[in-house]
């Protein structure tokens, strides 16, 4: 398992789902938005044409998603979920007391979770960076973006099963 922060671990299912999304956005998605822009452009004055501006905004969001997916898939490490050995690592499900409240979440990319109801924290997030490599029973603290110091105690680490 690579711990290089530029690599994102994905299940084969997540990789396939994201590849399909990228293919769709890159082909029919681009064709559809081009048609919307052309149609709106034909309506006249572009300065006051809300349909045109909405289509251009949609195009910008779609192109940003294409760039995100391209980068993610280029650097993805595809495989089955890492076997849990009681150590926090990307792709594992963590149960921890965060500031005294028990929380269960997946450490990794939101793209891994798919339709799961689990909260997801990136290993680059303040919480993720603080707990990566910790064993069950370990405690630490991290500084939240608001400057508050938050304590975390790891109570369980398990293999992600996709549910």
What is the residue-level pLDDT of the chain in tens, covering all 163 positions?
444 445 677 878 888 888 999 999 999 999 999 999 898 888 877 777 888 889 999 999 999 999 989 988 898 888 766 677 889 988 889 999 999 899 999 998 777 776 678 898 988 899 999 999 999 999 999 998 899 999 999 999 998 876 5
pLDDT tens-digit map of 110-139: 777 766 788 989 888 999 999 999 999 999
Task: Note the pLDDT of residue 142.
Answer: 94
How far is it, in rounded angstroms, from Cα 2 to Cα 37? 43
Please list the residues that pair with 40 across neighbouring strands.
none
- The full DSSP string for 99-140 is TTEEEEEEES-HHHHTT---EEE-TTSHHHHHHTTPBTT-EE
Residue 56, φ and ψ in degrees, nearest 5: -65, -40
CA distance 128 to 125: 5
| Average pLDDT over all residues of the chain | 86
Angle at the Cα of 125 (from 160 to 77), degrees rounded to 5?
Answer: 45
User: Which domains are present in the chain?
Assistant: 8-78 (1.10.287.180), 92-159 (3.10.50.30)
């Amino acid at each position: 398992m690579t711990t290089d922060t530029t690599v994102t671990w994905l299940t084969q299912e997540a990789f396939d789902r994201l590849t399909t999304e990228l293919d769709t956005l890159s082909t029919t998605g681009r064709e559809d938005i081009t048609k919307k822009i052309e149609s709106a452009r034909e309506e006249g004055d572009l300065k006051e044409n809300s349909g045109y501006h909405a289509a251009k905004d949609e195009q910008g969001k779609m192109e940003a998603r294409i760039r995100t997916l391209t980068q993610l898939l280029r650097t993805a490490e595809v495989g089955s979920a890492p076997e849990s050995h009681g150590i926090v690592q990307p792709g594992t499900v963590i149960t921890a007391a965060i500031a005294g409240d028990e929380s269960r979440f997946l450490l990794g990319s939101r793209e891994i979770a798919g339709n799961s109801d689990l909260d997801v924290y990136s290993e680059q997030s303040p919480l993720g960076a603080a707990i990566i490599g910790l064993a069950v029973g370990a405690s630490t603290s991290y500084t939240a973006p608001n400057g508050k110091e938050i304590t975390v105690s790891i109570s369980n680490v398990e293999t992600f099963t996709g549910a």
